[in-house]
Amino acid sequence: MGRPVTHFEILGQDAAALRQFYAQAFGWKLGSPGGDAMEYAMVETNGGGGIGGGIGKAPQGPGHVTFYVSVDDPAAALAEIERLGGRTVLEPQQVPGGVTFALFADPEGHVVGLFKE
């Protein structure tokens, strides 16, 4: 695989209920939700198989599920995506002291994330 999927998010209106549902349905262990408005909690992989992710409150709308693809340069990747018929949804954003992420829509409107560690 050229650029792997490295992160996922499940966001909705009731973050606590979503966390409880996924923890019970799949035995996922979750970190403590952050104190921010998104009530975001990381899914703990403890070095096991699979990719990391997070569950939290959608900042707007009914919520969504997004996967993130690892890239070296999110801005360059967005330029190529637009050349191929996609569209930028969110310009690259850097989490203070952390990763950079961006969002795009493919030609059919599916929103996918870009992720740079």
Domain locations in the chain as residue ranges: 1-64, 71-117
pLDDT tens digits for 52-98?
899 999 988 889 999 999 999 999 999 999 999 999 999 999 999 99
Task: Say whether 71-117 and 1-64 share the same fold.
Answer: yes
Classified as helix, coil or strand, 110 is coil
CATH topology of domain 71-117: 2,3-Dihydroxybiphenyl 1,2-Dioxygenase; domain 1 (3.10.180)
pLDDT tens digits for 2-33?
888 999 999 999 999 999 999 998 889 999 98
Query: 58 Cβ partners below 8 Å, 6+ apart?
Result: 11, 12, 13, 64
CA distance 112 to 67: 6
Distance from the first to the final alpha carbon of the chain? 18
**Domain covering 1-64 in this structure, CATH number:** 3.10.180.10
